[in-house]
Amino acid sequence: MNAAHLIRMANRIGDFFVAMPDREQAVRDVADHIARTWEPRMTRDLRAHVAAHGDADLSAIVREALVRLPP
């Protein structure tokens, strides 16, 4: 899947949850939302892109959530 599209989608999810007052809960919610709604290949492709190119394009909350996603 297109990495730019995945990054944009992940950052939009992060934008929604970042306003929550409890940062830890917000990170968990981002990870949970991605785990529940994304196809496994989408997460796999995003991780592959991050491994190859770094995570600079991801928002901070998405970077934190990405490491919490199941393998």
pLDDT, tens digit, 9 for 90 and up, residues 38-66:
999 999 999 999 999 999 999 999 999 99
Model pLDDT, residue 11: 98
Domain that residue 25 falls in: 3-66
Residue 33 located in a structural domain: yes
Residue that is written with structure tokens 């491994």 in the block: 51
Residue 71 located in a structural domain: no
Q: Rg of the Cα trace of the chain?
A: 11
Query: How much is the pTM?
Result: 0.94
> Do the Cβ atoms of 14 and 57 come closer than 8 Å?
no
> Do the Cβ atoms of 47 and 7 come closer than 8 Å?
no
The number of folded domains in the chain is 1
Residue 49 located in a structural domain: yes
Segment 22-48 mean pLDDT: 97
Residue 18 located in a structural domain: yes
- CA-to-CA distance for 54 and 18, rounded, in angstroms? 21
Reported as a pLDDT band with limits 50, 70 and 90, residue 1 is confident
